[in-house]
Amino acid sequence: MTGAIHEFMATPNFPKSKRKSSLFSSILCAVPLIGLSRGLTTYAHAAITNQNSAPPEEKHVLVIHSYNPELSWTQSQKAGIDEGFQAVAQDITVYHEFFDAKRYPNLHHQEAFLDYVSNKYEDTPLSVMMVGDDPGLDMILATREVYFPTLPIVFMGINNVEESLLNQPLLTGIFENHSTVETVIASAYQTGSYSVVVISDSSSTSQNNINSIKSSLIDH
């Protein structure tokens, strides 16, 4: 995965006396994910309990993580999901698979990954699928009719909000709305800078954020 440095010209409305030349670096910290992921298990558990045909001992949840298991973000998601299901039910088995899209952003392994998951869980009566972050959800929805046409899906950590998601059957979850653009503008204001340097990687999440910043600054 490659990285990139983007410089944006910002013209916030503050007095000339506060303007200065500086190189501003900002670290955007995500809120703790464990509690958020635990909360999402309520959606998944509701989907399971609505499936009256499956006896309790046959309830299984498949979690597709977009990124690798060593990533702290992924670890927090996994811990929250496991803790959440342990709190609400003891008769649910949770399986975790990792798409690894951040280390391999070209996604050439997508078909192989889907075939692997499909074959692995072919004889497992899955009740619901949980998907974390944009790359995984994009992959699942694009191939849903082939691999998981009737499986309810609960998503989390989605940055790229598309209206089409609201019309998908058997799909629910939460969007992750970081105030990226507002943070850039506030950074320029607080430091009196004419420009802000944003360092990103080549992941789809980073590219979506960069595009949002570009379009918003143009609009302003």
Q: Structural domain of residue 191, as residue ranges?
A: 3-28+179-219
Identify which has the larger pLDDT, 50 or 69: 69
132 & 198 share domain = no
187 & 151 share domain = no
3-state secondary structure (DSSP) of residue 54: coil
Highest-confidence range of 10-14, 51-55, 164-168, 173-177, by mean pLDDT? 164-168
42 & 24 share domain = no
Q: What CATH number is attached to the domain comprising 89?
A: 3.40.50.2300
The string of DSSP letters for 78-132 reads HHHHHHHHHHH-SSEEEEEEE--TTTSTT-TTHHHHHHHHHHHTTTS-EEEEEEE
37 & 21 share domain = no
149 & 193 share domain = no
Q: Which of 185, 196, 210, 211 is nearest to 7 (CA)?
A: 196
pLDDT exceeds 50 at position 57: yes
122 & 153 share domain = yes
Cα(39)–Cα(43) distance, integer angstroms: 8
Cα(170)–Cα(209) distance, integer angstroms: 28
Counting Cα atoms < 13 Å in the Cβ hemisphere of 110 gives: 17
Q: Per the confidence metrics, is the pTM higher than 0.85?
A: no
Domain tally, the chain = 2
95 & 156 share domain = yes
pLDDT of 25 = 29
Q: What would the two tokens of residue 28 be?
A: 């955007």
Contacts of 61 (CB under 8 A, 6+ apart): 44, 48, 85, 92, 93, 94, 95, 126, 127, 128, 129, 130
Give residue 153's identity as a one-letter amino acid code.
I
10 & 58 share domain = no
The chain-wide mean pLDDT, for the chain, equals: 77
Cα(218)–Cα(149) distance, integer angstroms: 41
Give residue 196's identity as a one-letter amino acid code.
V
51 & 134 share domain = yes
Of 143, 159, 175, which residue sits at a domain end? 175
Identify which has the larger pLDDT, 105 or 7: 105
164 & 201 share domain = no
Model pLDDT for residues 121-160, shown as the tens digit of each residue: 999 999 999 999 999 999 999 999 999 999 999 999 888 7
Q: What would the two tokens of residue 199 be?
A: 């360092």
170 & 200 share domain = no
Q: What would the two tokens of residue 70 be?
A: 């060593």
73 & 113 share domain = yes
pLDDT band at 14 (very low <50, low <70, confident <90, very high): very low
pLDDT of 31 = 31
pLDDT exceeds 80 at position 27: no
